[in-house]
């Protein structure tokens, strides 16, 4: 299965996840069976809030799922409409995310768990990620 993880850097499976899907500098596409991967740049990194078009960078890739630390409703809905499952993780390193995914801990995100940010520039803590929001 091919999963896409938004990452801050290109450091193989030790890369750190980006806190938010649409503003990640790179996307890492990992084959969870072989743990082979490739990294693609996010060509739409600088976008207005709610104007995230992540699939532009990924349109030539085969992706079954996306694992994120956080995602807005717009990007979530675009991925779902493309039949791509979205998973939330609290892990910060790609290798740990793959292990979590393979063990079956990650479950597909539901629409009511997406981030509801206020204002054009959401800022996350220095930890580099956040879990599902509880309202």
Its sign, for the CA torsion 90, 109, 12, 22, is negative
Please identify, in words, the CATH class of the domain defined by 2-109: alpha beta
> What residues contact residue 15 under an 8 Å CB cut-off, 6+ apart?
5, 7, 8, 9, 26, 28, 39, 93, 94
Note whether 27 and 57 are within 8 A (CB).
Answer: yes
- How far apart CA 108 and CA 86 sit, in angstroms, is 5
The model's pLDDT over 119-128, given as tens digits with 9 standing for 90+, comes to 443 444 333 3
Q: Kindly report the pTM of this predicted structure.
A: 0.78
CA dihedral defined by 7, 9, 14, 19, rounded to 10 degrees?
Answer: -40
Percent of the chain with pLDDT over 90: 47
Q: Is pLDDT of 50 > 70?
A: no
**Domain extents in the chain:** 2-109
The model's pLDDT over 54-76, given as tens digits with 9 standing for 90+, comes to 677 787 888 999 999 988 888 88
């Amino acid at each position: 299965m091919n999963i896409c993880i938004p990452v801050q850097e290109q450091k193989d499976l030790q890369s750190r996840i980006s806190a938010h899907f649409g503003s990640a500098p790179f996307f890492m596409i990992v084959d969870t069976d072989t743990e082979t991967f490739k990294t693609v740049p996010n060509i739409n990194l600088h976008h207005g809030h709610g104007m995230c078009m992540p699939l532009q960078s990924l349109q030539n890739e085969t992706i079954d799922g996306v694992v994120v630390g956080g995602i807005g409703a717009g990007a979530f809905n675009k991925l779902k409409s493309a039949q791509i499952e979205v998973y939330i993780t609290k892990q910060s390193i790609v290798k740990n995310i793959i292990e979590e995914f393979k063990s079956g801990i990650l479950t597909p995100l539901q629409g009511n768990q997406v981030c509801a940010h206020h204002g054009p520039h959401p800022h996350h803590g220095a930890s580099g990620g956040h879990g599902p929001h509880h309202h």
